[in-house]
Amino acid sequence: MPLSRLRRLWHAVREETPPPVVAPGHCSDAEVAALLAALGVAMVEVVQPTQLVTERLHAVAARYTTSRVRIATLPTLLVIQVGADHNQMEITTRSTTQLDHAGRVDTIARLAAAGAIAAADPATGVGGDDPRAALA
């Protein structure tokens, strides 16, 4: 197979990661805590493993803040602390296994991990004000 054909195939199947919107530390701790809470609950509601949720939220937090971030994820509870003063606790009893919803939430999580969405608007480019809107 010619090299140019391989390159075209590679570019067709790989996912492009958009550039970061802001530098780490640019967003307030409250905005980052709200983003992590909304995104984390959405991931829990689409039945992603709690360890994966925690890991992805830490990756997202590293893109938006330089403050210390603590995250505890359980199947129906998410506790987040950003810095010393901003705490979020979210409880959910909803869950879904619909793959279209899981795909939307995964897209938002991937964009957030790349720093490609604004912390104040976690659903940029996907629609809605909250990643959990993808489940509605």
Residue 2's pLDDT is 66
Higher pLDDT, 2 or 26: 26
**Residue 133: per-residue pLDDT:** 53
In the numeric block, the tokens 């939430």 are attached to 105
135 compared with 31, residue with greater pLDDT: 31
| 128: confidence class by pLDDT, cuts 50, 70, 90 | very low
In this predicted structure, what is the pLDDT of residue 124?
43
DSSP letter string, 76-107: SEEEEEETTTEEEEEE-------HHHHHHHHH
Where residue 92 falls among pLDDT bands split at 50, 70, 90?
A: confident
The pLDDT, as a whole number, for residue 9 is 72
What mean pLDDT value characterizes the chain? 81
β-strand partners of 77: 91
pLDDT of residue 68: 94
> How confident is the model at residue 116, as a pLDDT?
86
pLDDT at residue 127 in the model: 37
What is d(CA 71, CA 47) in angstroms, rounded to the nearest whole number? Answer: 17
- Give me the sheet containing 77-82, strands edge to edge: 69-73, 77-82, 86-91
Query: Which pLDDT score, from 0 to 100, does residue 50 have?
Result: 93
* Closest by CA position to 54, among listed 30, 34, 89, 78: 78
Residue 122 pLDDT exceeds 60: no
